[in-house]
Amino acid sequence: MADYDLTRRPRRLRQTPAIRDFVTETRLHPADFILPVFIADGIDAPREIPSMPGVYQHTEDSLVEICREALDAGVKCVDLFGVPREEDKDATGSVAVREDGVLNRAIALLRKEFGDELIIMTDTCLDEFTDHGHCGVLVTDAHGREVVDNDATVDIYCDMAVAQARAGAHIVSPSGMMDGQIAAIREALDNAGYQDVAIMAYSAKYASKFFGPFRDAVGSSLKGDRRTYQQDPANVRESLLEAELDVAEGADFVMVKPALPYLDVLAKIAEASPVPVAAYQVSGEYAMLNAAGQNGWIDYEETMMEALMSIKRAGADQIFTYYAIEAAKRLNG
């Protein structure tokens, strides 16, 4: 056997679990996770989402139960999405701003149940609530194209954010990628007396096919695509600009969505950002890993934890993941 004269043997620091833990560079913690949850109007029992096994549209009772389970595991924040009845959808998503709308009722329920113990984040977007499935108001432009009206949409986002704050949201998260939305929402919240309600900006949200299962989750009515307002997957500099603008407009957090296919974008934004940076492990990422695990092609739990670690390693301070409770329990031992 050759006797190599090696000064450096990096394997020395990999020899036992204790040594590996001693020198680990990146750590996940349950408080890093944000659990997206769906509350649906008009159902009397939790309804599993076919393309996202293990994820449900919730009733009010089961919503409280899963939020309590998250808290018990150390997950301190949920991101709440409302799923209205089909008959409540209209061209402007008006149910999104109504006090008796499904989302605002759920916010009030959670705030009453948990107070400030649970951080209630809310999706401040119209796609779940419009009958056409787009994130804003549709108009016909001078060339005869049906497009989303940026400024008219931002006006509704402002009303929606104030309604969510009034219901009890700690953080609003405008995800529609409208220009100027953060500044307008910040002004609306401040003028309404909600200076302490924070804004999570979906700064780098791409027009991604990884969102597919989410549309099952919210019963989306989308026709066409969102490429005129969500970002081109080929672009990176554009994301840096969007994050910079959002911070200048008053964002308290910025976000990259999706996460795993855009780790390069996440790393660049994390390096430049003066505010916390989140990343969203989206429905398609979850569904692919879940399906591969169910088929025995991968070790689902270990692969999911590796994926979450990669998102953290790339620079995410917070991670949106449908696996939040399971990941937290694993980290708790």
CA angle (185 as vertex; 88, 178 as ends), nearest 5:
75
End-to-end CA separation in angstroms for the chain: 42
CA dist., res. 206 & res. 87, Å (int): 30
CA dist., res. 298 & res. 277, Å (int): 29
- Contact indicator for 133, 76 with CB cutoff of 8 Å: no
Indicate the residue type of 209: K
From the list 89, 205, 268, 312, the catalytic residue is 205
Beta bridge partner(s), residue 39: 58, 82
CA dist., res. 209 & res. 182, Å (int): 25
Q: Is 257 a catalytic residue?
A: yes
Q: How far is residue 31 CA from its own chain's centroid?
A: 15
CA dist., res. 308 & res. 306, Å (int): 5
From the list 76, 223, 257, 329, the catalytic residue is 257
Q: Is 223 a catalytic residue?
A: no
The dihedral region occupied by 130, where left means phi > 0, alpha psi between -120 and 50, and beta the remainder, is beta
Report the 10 Å Cβ neighbour count for 216.
16
Tokens linked to 126? 């119209």
Beta bridge partner(s), residue 77: 34, 119
Instruction: Judge if the upstream peptide bond of residue 276 is cis by omega within 30 degrees of 0.
Output: no
Which DSSP symbol is given to 161?
Answer: H
Q: Which residues are catalytic?
A: 205, 257
